[in-house]
Amino acid sequence: MKRKTFIPYLLVSPYVVHFIVFVAFPVIFSIFLTFHDWNIIAPMRYVGLSNYIRLFNDTIFIKSLLNTLIFLAIHIPLQIISALVIAEILNQNIKLRGFFRATFFMPVIVSGVVVTILWQQLYGFETGLLNRVFIQLGFGKVGWLTDPSIAMPSIALMATWKNVGLYIVLFLVGLQTVPAHYYEAADLEGANHFQKFIKITLPLINPTIFMVVILSTIGGFSLFIEPYVMTGGGPLNSTISAMLYIYKQGFFYYHMGYAATLGFFFALLILTVIMIQKRYVEKDR
Amino acid sequence: MNINSCLKKIILNKKKIFTLLLIILSTNLSCNFEKKDIPREILYWSSNNNEEISFARFITNEWNKRNLELKVHFQPVPEGQSSEEIILAAVVGKTTPDVYSNMWQGDVETYAQAGVLVALDTLNGFIQFLNERCDSWTVKEVTSKDGHIYQIPWKINPIMMIYNKKILKELGLTSPPQTYSEFLEAAKRFKKDNNNDGYTDQWIGYTEVHTTWWQRLFDFYPLYLAASNGASLIQNDKAVFNNVHALQVFEFLRELYKKEYFPKERISARQDPFLSSTIATRFTGPWEISHAEKFKPTDFEYSFQTMPVPNEHSGPIFTYGDPKNIIVFKSSVDPNKILKFLKYFLSEENDLKLIEMTNQLPRRKNIDKNPVFANYFTKNPLMLRFAHQANYVKGTDVSVILKEVFDIISQEYEACVIYGVKTPKEALKDAERAVNLLFIK
């Protein structure tokens, strides 16, 4: 009897061990760290709530949160609109449809660092392709990554280009689940393409849109590689994201306690935003 | 046999498994005890650039030939994003070597306060050895806050101004610009829009606009040391850089960016801007010589000059030395024996080998007048300029928050110098306040 009860525990033990080592322990340890000052090599020092007090007075962290929100405000609508429009086109019976679908998906499978370096070259002030085109067209050069008011939109544009393929696929799946007879009925009523899109397509792919919003939000909150490689958070901290700032605190300055506090606070913030989004969409349904 | 029966078999045999584990564990423990009795070699980690690897190999081979009773095993610091990261990981993982020879001076205090380094001044004969090698200024500079010395000054790469001789001659200058006014005047003459597109195409100089803290070690900091005769940034856990010298440096650099004498955009990613004459000067170290010799166009002439200084400056012109020092970790078996190896390592003959093999200056007093090195400097006259400068170099202040200090200065530098959104006075005041807040925490 005893042996029989032991076996199920043995079978689930790999997952339990994995969960304890890689999830439970790090979470509990990071919460513990938030009350300490620790630079990895020296012993930990208990500091009470001072990391939390510091967090609310840290102007760069507040700026990094605002930057992340600016990024999300540009990136999410841009992502949804461009993915939806392209998916709608690719859902039609056009020539070379397979080729275009594969082409749009290509950036998704390319390494983020590679894409970032590529766009860094495109955005170059002196030698970048974009500015060369602008000069040819008679415009002035743009400080894509060096003008504090343009740098974050430039990063958002690049991130959209990198990820749009994934969302095109999701929207294509959503579009193909819309029953064809709805469109046939609308055709009989004399609806044009735009009316069909607004009245039929959009309401019926609402769950896909919600999923894309959630995924884009989570992806946007974890913005790191792009500013890390392209701008280092500059100019004037205009592209420093919350994740980049947490990384800097943890692995540049080895303020592990403070970095854990920032991470903990940021995780709560993401959770709150996702919960609000979820409640809003559920109410809408 | 199915999975269930397999598991049952394992459970039934658990006594056997337990016995087996016990045997493995006891064997391992006994092996470990045995290992402790064997006298081990000194483990020495060097930097992982090719020249230094060759130098370290040469040193250890020579030592091992002469000292059979105390062998040294050399290996380059393991690969990683930076050697600092690897050293930190080694300290945390308790896998430190006995000796590490490429420690940035600014990092030593952190490790010293963490208690992982040997206080070298407690070893027999160390102080006398250090005083013979270095001047009192250097000894003071490497003395930790607790009064002990945890590092031996080994090598430096002083930051100076490289200049294009031909360009300066064409600008009508008989000597390279030394004061801020001279530099600004040369900059005004050299700035040019070659293709008439409304954008400047050639500038007097260039420094990285990135705010990464260590970039300021190659522009603001050497200029500050030059202007102030080697003053500190921090002293007794307090910011002391909000002074007339830092103000002058910020104003000077701000002027260079404001008038587009320095480009705000990154131009370092393309063809070398100095060798392609896009810029006429650059703040750099002796490593530039081998690079320039390898890639310079024909008829390209260059030389080095001390850092620009304020017009009214008097006295010697200091600069940042980018010092890399030697440390001994507490995990080492016998630091006194290691000191014997280090005395050999830092002997005059091996310092000569260092400069010959790596083109990096040993940090020893009066190296420009030392006859041991005279032949090398005759063959390498540009290195002699760095040797003269070596008499007036400074490393870093002693602090565990030095990187944060440079990061704060860098943030304010960007706001004031590059983008001009703060005045130099405001920027320095804000930097001072932020640094002092760090010390309060």
Per-residue model confidence as pLDDT tens digits over A19-50: 999 999 999 999 999 999 998 888 899 999 99
- Residue B212 to residue A7, Cβ atoms within 8 A: no
Please report residues of A whose CB lies closer than 8 A to that of B273.
none
Residue B416 has pLDDT above 90, yes or no: yes
Which residues does A contribute to its contact with B (CB < 8 Å)? 3, 6-7, 10, 39-42, 50, 54, 120-121, 124-127, 135, 140-141, 143, 146, 148, 232-237, 252-254
- Looking at chain B, which residue has its C-alpha nearest residue A132? B197
- Are B195 and B309 in the same domain? yes
Q: Judge whether B95 lies within some domain.
A: yes
Query: Residue B15 — very low, low, confident or very high, per pLDDT cuts 50/70/90?
Result: low
Highest-pLDDT range among B90-99, B331-340, B385-394: B385-394
Q: For chain A, give the percent of residues with pLDDT over 70.
A: 97
- The whole-angstrom distance between residue B190's C-alpha and the CA centroid of its chain comes to 32
Closest to B265 (Cβ–Cβ): which among A50, A126, A237? Answer: A126
**Count helices and strands in chain B by DSSP H and E runs:** 18, 11
**CATH dotted code for A53-112+151-284:** 1.10.3720.10
Find which of A12, A125, A126, A154 to mutate to test the B interface (most B CBs within 10 Å of its CB): A126
Average pLDDT score over residue span A93-116: 88
Rounded Cα distance between B86 and B207, Å, is: 28
**Ordered alpha helix ranges (H), A40-137:** 50-57, 59-90, 97-109, 112-123, 129-136
- Are B173 and B290 in the same domain? yes
Please report residues of B whose CB lies closer than 8 A to that of A7.
4, 7
Please report residues of B whose CB lies closer than 8 A to that of A127.
270
Asked if B113 is an interface residue toward chain A (Cβ–Cβ < 8 A), one would say yes
Please report residues of A whose CB lies closer than 8 A to that of B421.
236
Rounded Cα distance between A87 and A105, Å, is: 11
- Are B104 and B202 in the same domain? no
What per-residue confidence (pLDDT) applies to B39? Answer: 53
Residue type, A285: R
- Residue A54 to residue B441, Cβ atoms within 8 A: yes
- Looking at chain A, which residue has its C-alpha nearest residue B419? A236
What per-residue confidence (pLDDT) applies to B85? Answer: 85
At residue B192, the 3 state secondary structure works out as strand
Please report residues of B whose CB lies closer than 8 A to that of A6.
11
Is the distance from CB of B168 to CB of B277 less than 8 angstroms?
A: no
Average pLDDT score over residue span B84-98: 90
Rounded Cα distance between B358 and B104, Å, is: 17
Residue B309 has pLDDT above 60, yes or no: yes
Asked if B264 is an interface residue toward chain A (Cβ–Cβ < 8 A), one would say yes
What per-residue confidence (pLDDT) applies to A285? Answer: 59
**Count helices and strands in chain A by DSSP H and E runs:** 15, 2
At residue B115, the 3 state secondary structure works out as coil
What per-residue confidence (pLDDT) applies to B52? Answer: 93
Asked if B381 is an interface residue toward chain A (Cβ–Cβ < 8 A), one would say no
Distance, in angstroms, between A153 CA and closest chain B CA? Answer: 18
Rounded Cα distance between B162 and A1, Å, is: 84
> For the sheet containing B160-164, what is the strand order?
B281-284, B160-164, B302-305
Torsion of CA B415, B419, B423, B427, to 10 degrees: 10
DSSP state of B79: P
Asked if B437 is an interface residue toward chain A (Cβ–Cβ < 8 A), one would say no
Q: Is the peptide bond before A235 cis (omega within 30 degrees of 0)?
A: yes
Q: What is the DSSP string of A141-203?
A: P--TTTSTTTHHHHHHHHHHHHHHHHHHHHHHHHHHTS-HHHHHHHHHTT--HHHHIIIIIHH
Residue type, B207: T
Nearest in space to A144 (alpha carbons), one of A163, A162, A125:
A125
Q: How many domains does chain B have?
A: 2
> What would the pLDDT profile of A166-225 be if each residue is shown by its tens digit?
999 999 999 998 898 998 999 898 888 889 888 998 889 988 888 888 888 888 898 999
Please report residues of A whose CB lies closer than 8 A to that of B212.
232
Task: Return the CA Rg of chain B.
Answer: 26
- Are B169 and B293 in the same domain? yes
Rounded Cα distance between A215 and A166, Å, is: 10
List the CATH number of the domain containing B372: 3.40.190.10
Asked if B8 is an interface residue toward chain A (Cβ–Cβ < 8 A), one would say yes
Q: Judge whether B23 lies within some domain.
A: no
Residue with tokens 């250097």: B138
Nearest in space to A120 (alpha carbons), one of A91, A93, A144:
A144
- Residue B421 to residue A143, Cβ atoms within 8 A: no
Helix (H) or strand (E) holding A36: strand A36-37
> What would the pLDDT profile of A141-157 be if each residue is shown by its tens digit?
888 998 999 999 999 99
- Residue A234 to residue B4, Cβ atoms within 8 A: no
- Are B55 and B146 in the same domain? yes
Average pLDDT score over residue span B196-225: 91
What per-residue confidence (pLDDT) applies to B36? Answer: 45
Find which of B202, B211, B257 to mutate to test the A interface (most A CBs within 10 Å of its CB): B211
Residue B32 has pLDDT above 50, yes or no: no
- Residue B210 to residue A54, Cβ atoms within 8 A: no
Closest to B199 (Cβ–Cβ): which among A7, A10, A141? Answer: A141
Distance, in angstroms, between A100 CA and closest chain B CA? Answer: 33
Please report residues of B whose CB lies closer than 8 A to that of A136.
none
Sign of the alpha-carbon dihedral angle for B294, B295, B299, B304: negative
Rounded Cα distance between B75 and B84, Å, is: 16
Average pLDDT score over residue span B357-376: 95
What per-residue confidence (pLDDT) applies to B270? Answer: 67
> What would the pLDDT profile of B315-345 be if each residue is shown by its tens digit?
999 999 999 999 999 988 889 989 999 999 9
Q: What is the DSSP string of A191-242?
A: --HHHHIIIIIHHHTHHHHHHHHHHHHHHHHT--HHHHHHTTT-STTTT--H
Helix/strand/coil percentages in chain B, nearest 5? 50, 15, 35
Query: Residue A12 — very low, low, confident or very high, per pLDDT cuts 50/70/90?
Result: very high
Query: Residue A238 — very low, low, confident or very high, per pLDDT cuts 50/70/90?
Result: very high
- Looking at chain B, which residue has its C-alpha nearest residue A59? B434
Is the distance from CB of B311 to CB of B128 less than 8 angstroms?
A: no
A45-59, B75-89, B336-350: range with lowest mean pLDDT? B75-89
* Interface A-B: count of C-beta contacts within 8 A: 71
- Residue A146 to residue B265, Cβ atoms within 8 A: yes
Residue with tokens 């004037």: A236
Q: Judge whether B9 lies within some domain.
A: no
Residue with tokens 């461009």: A82
- Are B95 and B197 in the same domain? no
Q: For chain B, give the percent of residues with pLDDT over 70.
A: 90
Rounded Cα distance between B275 and B268, Å, is: 12
Beta-sheet pairing, B319-320 with B393-394: parallel
Distance, in angstroms, between A236 CA and closest chain B CA? Answer: 6
Rounded Cα distance between B12 and B15, Å, is: 8
- Residue B113 to residue A235, Cβ atoms within 8 A: no
- The whole-angstrom distance between residue A262's C-alpha and the CA centroid of its chain comes to 18
The tokens describing B105, both together, are 């001076």
- Are B144 and B53 in the same domain? yes
Rounded Cα distance between B324 and B327, Å, is: 10
- Residue A141 to residue B11, Cβ atoms within 8 A: no
What per-residue confidence (pLDDT) applies to B13? Answer: 58
Q: Which residue has the higher pLDDT, A92 or B171?
A: B171
- Looking at chain B, which residue has its C-alpha nearest residue A252? B403
Is the distance from CB of B156 to CB of B321 less than 8 angstroms?
A: yes
The tokens describing A104, both together, are 């749009």
Highest-pLDDT range among A36-45, B205-214, B281-290: B281-290
Half-sphere exposure of B48 (CA within 13 A, CB side): 12
Sign of the alpha-carbon dihedral angle for A243, A249, A250, A252: positive
- Residue A41 to residue B110, Cβ atoms within 8 A: yes
Closest to A41 (Cβ–Cβ): which among B92, B403, B404? Answer: B92
- Are B117 and B266 in the same domain? no
Rounded Cα distance between A212 and A79, Å, is: 9
Rounded Cα distance between A131 and A143, Å, is: 9
Rounded Cα distance between B396 and B323, Å, is: 8
Residues 6+ positions from B87 with CB-CB distance below 8 Å: B77, B96, B100, B103, B107, B111
Task: Return the CA Rg of chain A.
Answer: 24
| Residue numbers of the domain that contains B258 | 160-320+401-440
Residues 6+ positions from A169 with CB-CB distance below 8 Å: A101, A105
Restricting to B residues 183-212, those with a Cβ less than 8 Å away from any Cβ of A are 197-199, 209-212
Residue B268 has pLDDT above 90, yes or no: no
- Residue A234 to residue B210, Cβ atoms within 8 A: yes
Phi, psi of A30 (to 5 degrees): -70, -35
- Residue B88 to residue A40, Cβ atoms within 8 A: yes
Q: Judge whether B16 lies within some domain.
A: no
The tokens describing A120, both together, are 């860094």
Neighbours of A225 (CB within 10 A): 18
Closest to B211 (Cβ–Cβ): which among A10, A50, A234? Answer: A234
- Looking at chain A, which residue has its C-alpha nearest residue B434? A58
- Looking at chain B, which residue has its C-alpha nearest residue A230? B210
Residues 6+ positions from B17 with CB-CB distance below 8 Å: B10
Beta-sheet pairing, B160-164 with B281-284: antiparallel
- Are B316 and B335 in the same domain? no
Distance, in angstroms, between A40 CA and closest chain B CA? Answer: 7
Query: Residue B69 — very low, low, confident or very high, per pLDDT cuts 50/70/90?
Result: confident
Average pLDDT score over residue span B145-155: 96
Residue B8 has pLDDT above 70, yes or no: no
pTM for the complete prediction? 0.84
- Rounded to the nearest integer, the mean pLDDT of chain A is 89
Residue B269 has pLDDT above 70, yes or no: no
- Residue A146 to residue B92, Cβ atoms within 8 A: no
Rounded Cα distance between A62 and A238, Å, is: 12
- Are B307 and B390 in the same domain? no
- Residue B198 to residue A135, Cβ atoms within 8 A: no
- Are B134 and B76 in the same domain? yes
What per-residue confidence (pLDDT) applies to B26? Answer: 47
Query: Residue A2 — very low, low, confident or very high, per pLDDT cuts 50/70/90?
Result: low
- Rounded to the nearest integer, the mean pLDDT of chain B is 89
- Looking at chain A, which residue has its C-alpha nearest residue B7? A7
Angle, in degrees to the nearest 10, between helices A256-284 and A50-57: 70
- Are B226 and B195 in the same domain? yes
- Residue A10 to residue B264, Cβ atoms within 8 A: no
Q: Judge whether B17 lies within some domain.
A: no
- Residue A143 to residue B265, Cβ atoms within 8 A: yes
- Residue A41 to residue B116, Cβ atoms within 8 A: yes
Q: Judge whether B253 lies within some domain.
A: yes
Residues 6+ positions from A146 with CB-CB distance below 8 Å: A125, A235, B209, B264, B265, B266
- Residue B414 to residue A42, Cβ atoms within 8 A: no
Rounded Cα distance between A113 and A111, Å, is: 5
